[in-house]
Structure 1
Amino acid sequence: MVDSIDTSKNVELTEDDLENKSKGQLIKLAGQLRDRRNDLNQMASERASSRDDLNAETREKVDEAQEHREKRDELNELVQEHKEKRNELNADANELFDKVERMKSDMDLDDGKDLEKLESEIEDLEFKQQTEVLSSEEEKELIEKIESKREEYAERQEKMGDNEDLDELVEEAEEVRSEASKHHQKVTELADKAQEHHNQMIEAYREADDIRDEADEMHEKFVQAQEAADRHHEDFVRVQKRLRELDKQEEEEEQAEREKKKEEVQEEAEEIYERFKDGETLDTEDLMKLQKAGRL
């Protein structure tokens, strides 16, 4: 908060002061007005400088916010590009995986058990055959069951082993999905960075608003000081004008006094000269008065 002007130090001037104060009092008052005006002008200059510094700082903060805005927008454009690429790749991967499922369906690979499970079941049955005491009928049934599962295993293994296209398609689909995941990761990373710049932009604008408020307050204080300085200057000029009027008045009075004395000298010289013409003897003082009046 900027301190207000100490009005107790201001110098007041009234019409009564101008009309009734003596020349000496007015000279003193003019000095007071001049000194207070100078102090206020200095104060106004300092406040104007502070205001300008604050305005410059505000512009710097606005520029900083604008830089963050531009960076945020650039990152958001990249986010959009990676999103579009990710969505395209995911769509391609989905098509490839759908194609894999169709190929599996055509090969009857979706029905029945997978190879690992079949292999595990065969091993369990063989272990049972080797470790348990079975009747001839039970062992026969168990052997037939083992053979049946071996045939199923061989058939499914043959189908999987003979279809290189399916493996290549699965690999391609997984690669496309992996590439889509990379773009998704970039989306996340870039979006986070864009948000950081957005937050920094908001903070810079907030700081700019706070500094601008300080600058506006400082400008108001500058105006107060400048207006007070101007008022003191105007009053100083009025006193100076009054002093010139008094000087002129004194000169006129002195000139009138000189004219009056000159007339008195001339009148007295005229009297002396008339006396001289009448034959009266003049003393030295009378002669000097005639000489002073230019009659000799």
Structure 2
Amino acid sequence: METRTLGQGLTVSAQGLGCMGMSQSYGEADEASSIATLHRALELGVTFWDTANVYGDAGPGGFGANERLLAQVLAGRRDEVTLATKMGIAGIDTSADPSTGRRFALSATPEEVRRRCEESLARLGTDHIDLYYLHRVDPETPIEESIGAMGELVQAGKVRHVGVSEVTAAELERAHSTYPVTALQSEWSLWTRELEEDVVPTARRLGIGLVPFGPLGRGYLTGALAGRSFGAGDSRARMPRFVEENRTANDAVVAEVADVARAHDALPGQVALAWLQQQGDDVVPIPGTKRVEYLEQNVGALEVHLDDHELARLDALAGKVAGARS
């Protein structure tokens, strides 16, 4: 597995593994399958793992279930993994109208930052976190206070690098001026391109690495979800791009991706990942899966090399996507 270096000198596998779906959002959890996938990831060299304290908050095991899941594999193999986790989402806001979907309660006061770090360290069974993200900006706490507390965790040896997630360009500037930021995690894919206008240029000017989540469009860009319906336990049932009235347009987008894939004897999802991987050496996508088969397919994207004409054709698909991202 090749490696890439994010800001502040953090070297990681060129493709990471998003672990959220092992514990929530995409249907029933399957612990045995997830653990097998984590072990296979180590065999393949996919050693940049992404979790969060809130993943699994509504699933088996309750709050922090995903961190506890990873701990089962990390035991005895901690040094093989570059481990990323997050804080800032305090849980589900139960006062929100359930018909509108999940709503999060946000909290990233300095006290909360320190407390959540200790909780994650305990659940993960480790004495340090390689990359600690501010999951979302707390609107009640200046970002300088949250990032300042995270910097103190670095000085204490509990965290190695600081990251931020889903911030604006201005927030990224403020965070980085408080303490050097290593990575920005945001949704970025062939059909989610908004951050390219000002966030990506700001990150690159500051020397901050880019860690896209949802690089496969929540699975849609693989072409494997055609005609599929989603149950109440799957967050995609509420996402505009997955509803019936938008599917014709979005299926046409996937058909174009599949056409490019055929020229490479590859899968549509591999082309979608290859497009993202070729956006720059500072880009490390973290496709998520809980199945070995899909993990192996995702790793295969590293062998797909798109030419300039194909990249331009794929770039143009952004204007054809129907529906907001969430």
TM-score by structure 2 length?
0.15
Report the structure, 1 or 2, having the larger helix content. Answer: 1
Q: Which has the higher contact order (CA 8 A, sep 6+)?
A: 1
TM-score by structure 1 length?
0.16
